[in-house]
Amino acid sequence: MYTYSQLLLRNFLFAIGFSACVALAGAVLLATQISTQQSQHQQILLTLDKQIDFGKSESLAKQLPIFNAYHFINIINIEGEVIVNEQKKPTFIDEFILSPVSQVTLPNSSLIIQFQLDVSANLIFLRTTVLAVFIITLLFTIFSAPLSIARSRRFADRIDKQVKQDLTLIIEGKEGTDEVNKHEVTLPNIEQSLIALRALIASKITATALLEKDAYIEPVTKLENRNRFVQFFENADNRSDFGVLSITRCSELQTINQIHGYHEGDTYIRKVADIMKNAISRYKGAQVFRLNSSDFATLIPNISLKSAETFATELTASFNRYQQASDLDSVGYTGLVYFDNDKPLGELLALADTGISVAQTQSVNAWYAQTDTSILDNSSASYGNQNWRQEIDSVIANQRVNLLVQPIKPSSPNNRVYGEILTRFLNSNDDILPTASFFAMAEKLDKIVAVDQMIIEAAIKEIANRNMHDNFFGINVSARSINDGHFLIWLERRLLRDNIIASKLVFEITESGLQQNIKTSKNFIDMVHRVGARITVERFGIGLTSFKFFRDLKPDFIKMDSTYTRDIDEDKNNQYFMRLMVDLAHRLSISVLAESVESQEEKFMLEKLFVDGCQGFYIGKPRTISSV
């Protein structure tokens, strides 16, 4: 839309242009009129010649220019004598309007008259007319400019109102109703533009909704994720002023992923989500979120911590039923904390986490309501850790560990493989502690070396007591232990005491653990080989370690990470990578194993790629070492 000055300038230029057009048209009409008048004047002179003898009356001939306005006149008698010769000085405009010089011969008067009619009076009229038109047009444009601006603004306001109305209807999801078609503006171009705009905005809103769904919905359980949880909790208008926040940690996810595969892990998580959704269904306004791979958050509004204990007890009962039906060691542990507007989210999550730590040291699938907020003070920040420290010390002191074995099946009778020893830890009530949390807390509290020693000691005693010298067993060792000089000395002495059993052991260490300190890793592997035991590098392929590194370390086995074996029967890239790894490993006399094999098709493809052995739920479930 024009501003006032722009509109005024535009109208001024229009007035000049219109006046110029009027002047040009007037000049053309005037020239035509003069030409016609000059032809008519020529006939008048011939008529007068018949009535008056100009030659006999030269004085009368000289009076002719007086009675008629000529721009140019020249009268010559028959003898060639000039009787009259008059000419006005022409102007610039006269050249365009004057007709050519006309010549007429008067036979009776014996005179020759050459003439051009004068146009001075006509030009004055034309200039007056053009000036009047310009002034009138200019005045019109000056006074019409505000009116045009006002009209344009009213039109723009109507368009703006209409667009806002359409946008509101689209946002409210009414783009298919009759309200959209009730427009004040009926210009076709505007209508088409608005239709296109509505379609564009509708598509953008749809795309935004899909993006928001991807950003806030967790794909496995279809629950809202951590981002939505934080957004919801920090917006006080969306939630109640008080209630109970609980965090539930799925204790078996890591174990299920490693033993049964990620598909079973997703099934486990979905089942836990269903149990939690069913548990909160009786509480109005309660919501459940998935915070990360293993943690769920539940918000129950307008309830006290004491009342929420009923929810926690029912949740534990549901977990127990699922555990028994699925043959799991545990399902999940829950920490509860009371919330109100005065407590920040970070503090509440920390309190709930300590509640989980306490619950994990109690019975299976237990819950714990954290009421002591002082545990977040520096003087008592280790409250949850202290429970774990006491539990781990008790497990080590009383050797409360159960050993399971998961077999590795050789691809051919000539391949020498082994069974991997898995551990389960018990509390004082003989309830199974969450294995992943136990190892994590042992690492955190600097107890992992003692735990590794306990496991190795228990494995050697079981093998000796049950006289299983014909079998080979794999034992996992943490990266912290192989970098501990005292542990290496202890392990070498312990293996030398039972050298026959030592020759039946295979120590598994992760690829990332070996990379932490190359020198100590080589010392560990050399020591293991000296006493007759073997080494497996597990979760191989994650760190992309060079084969020169393995040529120098000389492990006996590499166990490919499950990301390369999962769905390998369909994944051409993994097939190519696995075949390459097998070729390179065999050139270095290293056997290749595959873990997390969950189907006959995967097993068949791995054997086709010359993998030496397969391990997974499809091959064999973990069983007690006494049943081997």
- In eight-state DSSP terms, residue 341 is T
451 forms bridges with which residues in the sheet? none
pLDDT given at position 472: 96
300 forms bridges with which residues in the sheet? 244
**Amino acid letter at 256?**
I
**Amino acid letter at 441?**
M
pLDDT band at 467 (very low <50, low <70, confident <90, very high): very high
The candidate with the shortest Cα–Cα distance to 556, out of 585, 522, 581, is 585
Place of tokens 């939505």: 228
d(CA 315, CA 307): 14
Residue 320, classified by CB atoms within 10 Å of its CB into exposed (0-12), middle (13-18) or buried (19+), is middle
Per-residue pLDDT for 421 more than 80?
A: yes
Per-residue pLDDT for 177 more than 50?
A: no
Q: Which of 164-173, 183-192, 208-217 has the lowest mean pLDDT?
A: 183-192
Instruction: Write the pLDDT tens digit of every residue in 320-362.
Output: 999 988 888 889 999 999 998 888 888 888 888 888 888 888 8
Per-residue pLDDT for 76 more than 60?
A: yes
The dihedral formed by the CA atoms of 116, 117, 118 and 119, expressed in degrees to the nearest 10: -110
d(CA 553, CA 515): 11
Q: Is the pTM of this model over 0.85?
A: no
DSSP codes of every residue in 131-156: HHHHHHHHHHHHHHHHHHHHHHHHHH
CA 544 to chain centre: 29
Backbone angles phi, psi at 209, to 5 degrees: -65, -40
Tokens of 86: 């008059």
**Amino acid letter at 53?**
D
The DSSP element (H or E) to which 74 belongs, if any, is: strand 70-77
Question: What does pLDDT average to over the chain?
Answer: 83
The DSSP element (H or E) to which 104 belongs, if any, is: strand 102-106
Q: Which residues contact 196 (CB under 8 A, 6 or more apart)?
A: none
Place of tokens 């486990």: 268
Residue 165, classified by CB atoms within 10 Å of its CB into exposed (0-12), middle (13-18) or buried (19+), is middle
d(CA 246, CA 368): 10
Place of tokens 């917006």: 235
Range(s) for CATH 3.30.70.270 in the chain? 224-379
292-298 average pLDDT score: 92
Task: Identify the three-state secondary structure at position 613.
Answer: strand
- Asked if 390 contacts 433 with a C-beta cutoff of 8 angstroms, the reply is no
Most confident by average pLDDT, 53-67, 95-109, 304-318, 450-464: 450-464
Output the CATH code of domain 391-627: 3.20.20.450
**Homologous superfamily of 224-379:** Reverse transcriptase/Diguanylate cyclase domain (3.30.70.270)
- In eight-state DSSP terms, residue 433 is P
Tokens of 77: 């008698």
d(CA 315, CA 475): 35
Q: How many CB atoms are located within 10 Å of the residue 512 CB? A: 13
Q: Which residues contact 58 (CB under 8 A, 6 or more apart)?
A: 77, 83
Per-residue pLDDT for 464 more than 60?
A: yes
Instruction: Write the pLDDT tens digit of every residue in 236-281.
Output: 777 788 899 999 999 888 888 877 778 888 999 999 999 999 999 9
Per-residue pLDDT for 386 more than 90?
A: no
Range(s) for CATH 3.20.20.450 in the chain? 391-627
Q: Is 536 left (phi over 0), alpha (psi -120 to 50) or beta?
A: beta
pLDDT band at 18 (very low <50, low <70, confident <90, very high): confident
The candidate with the shortest Cα–Cα distance to 226, out of 324, 143, 292, 299, is 292
- Asked if 520 contacts 482 with a C-beta cutoff of 8 angstroms, the reply is yes
- Asked if 134 contacts 16 with a C-beta cutoff of 8 angstroms, the reply is yes
Q: How many CB atoms are located within 10 Å of the residue 65 CB? A: 17
- Asked if 594 contacts 560 with a C-beta cutoff of 8 angstroms, the reply is yes
228 vs 490: which has the higher pLDDT:
490
Q: How many CB atoms are located within 10 Å of the residue 503 CB? A: 14
Q: Which residues contact 163 (CB under 8 A, 6 or more apart)?
A: 194, 197
